[in-house]
């Protein structure tokens, strides 16, 4: 298992079309829809993970549901600021089987890329050569086990903490505060979901959108199956109207000021994000 000491994967951003960016920004502006399945979602049935072939399990992406995925055992870990991990993140060099326990039942395949960029996920538990990681799929707090082979490993010094009640985002580097900002969060009917997640991707919209950069997280709206035609992915992003900061007005995303977005753009993919109520 290769180890990368300096995580230089941090600033990779996929240049996506305006339509894709709008799907991701739909959680904070634009039409929200209650549906029985997210747009583009592919779910695995109860017996779908019993085989070993990749065709019998879903890919673990923001568009899918991974049934049978063990729930994160410590979603509030790191409430003191560290994100409950030692900063280890891993990147599969190819499609990686995901299991419900070390050597157990295969439940998904973790692809090498997410939204046009490399897949990096945080390690929340280790057992021998096995790594338990957070997944970008529904249900929220889904996790899974990866074998140690075929993984690149790095460490991120960053943790992002979002305190919904205070409407505040804090960026920590090596346990020390690197910045704190007042932000906008989800409204009462479409709250920003609490729990431990991570920065899944870094998206540079191909055309003008409300934010020059979108940072999708590995979590989804808990009350909306889709917004704007997208999968209900929650993201960190900017917003042109500063009057929203300090308010609960979004469909679940976290809108941040321009200087916060600039600081967050330097945070490596896979870095833990702890959202507390």
Count CB-CB contacts under 10 A for residue 199: 26
246 inside domain: yes
Range of the domain at 227: 158-275
Residues with Cβ within 8 Å of residue 268, at least 6 apart in sequence: 7, 9, 10, 89, 120, 154, 156, 158, 199
Share of the chain above pLDDT 70, in %: 77
| Digit-coded pLDDT (tens) for 39-82 | 233 333 333 333 444 558 999 999 999 999 999 988 887 655 45
Please check whether residue 111 lies inside any domain of the structure: no
d(CA 272, CA 259): 20
Distance of alpha carbon 193 from the chain centroid:
12
d(CA 104, CA 99): 6
Collect all residues with Cβ–Cβ distance below 8 Å to 74 and sequence separation of at least 6.
Answer: 84, 124, 196
**The pLDDT of residue 274 is above 90:** yes
Q: Is residue 179 part of a domain?
A: yes
- The answer, yes or no, to whether residue 187 has pLDDT greater than 50, is yes
**pLDDT tier, 228 (very low <50, low <70, confident <90, very high otherwise):** low
In a domain, 75, yes or no: no
* Predicted pLDDT of residue 221: 93
Residue 208, pLDDT score: 79
The answer to whether residue 200 scores a pLDDT higher than 50 is yes
Beta pairing partners, 159: 172
CATH of the domain at 225: 2.40.440.10
In a domain, 255, yes or no: yes
Average pLDDT, the chain: 84
Is 234 inside a domain boundary?
yes
Catalytic site residue from 91, 220, 237, 251: 237
Strand partners, 34: none
What's the pLDDT at 38?
Answer: 27
Percent of the chain with pLDDT strictly greater than 90: 68
Q: Is the pLDDT of residue 33 over 50?
A: no
What is the mean predicted confidence (pLDDT) over 143-166?
97
Instruction: Determine whether 237 is an active site residue.
Output: yes
**Is 253 marked active-site?**
yes
129 pLDDT more than 90:
yes
CA–CA dist 168, 163 (Å, integer): 5
In a domain, 165, yes or no: yes
Residue 166 within a domain: yes
Domain count, the chain: 1
What pTM value is reported for the model? 0.85
Element (H, E) at 19: helix 18-25
């Amino acid at each position: 298992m290769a180890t990368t000491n300096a995580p230089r994967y941090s600033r990779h951003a996929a240049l996506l079309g305006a339509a894709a960016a709008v799907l991701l920004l739909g959680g904070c502006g634009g039409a929200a829809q209650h549906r029985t399945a997210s747009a583009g979602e592919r779910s695995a049935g109860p017996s779908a993970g019993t085989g070993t072939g990749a065709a019998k399990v879903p890919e673990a992406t923001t568009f899918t549901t991974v049934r049978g995925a063990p729930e994160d055992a410590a979603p509030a870990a790191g409430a003191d600021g560290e994100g409950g991990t030692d900063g280890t993140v891993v990147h599969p060099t190819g499609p990686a089987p995901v299991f419900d326990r070390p050597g157990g039942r295969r439940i998904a395949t973790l692809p090498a890329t997410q939204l046009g960029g490399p897949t990096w996920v945080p390690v929340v538990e280790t057992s021998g050569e096995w790594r338990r990681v957070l997944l970008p799929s529904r249900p929220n707090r889904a996790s899974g086990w990866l074998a140690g082979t075929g993984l690149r490993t790095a460490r991120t010094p960053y943790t992002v903490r979002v305190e919904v009640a205070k409407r505040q985002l804090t960026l920590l580097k090596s346990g020390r505060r690197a910045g704190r900002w007042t932000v906008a969060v989800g409204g009462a009917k479409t709250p920003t979901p609490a729990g431990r997640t991570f920065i899944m991707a870094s998206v540079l919209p191909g055309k003008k959108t409300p934010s020059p950069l979108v940072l999708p997280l590995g979590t989804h709206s808990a009350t909306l199956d889709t917004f704007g035609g997208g999968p209900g992915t929650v993201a960190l992003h900017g917003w042109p109207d500063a009057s929203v900061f300090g308010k609960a007005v979004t469909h679940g995303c976290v809108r941040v000021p321009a200087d916060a977005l600039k600081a967050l753009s330097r945070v490596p993919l896979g870095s833990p994000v702890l959202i507390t109520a």
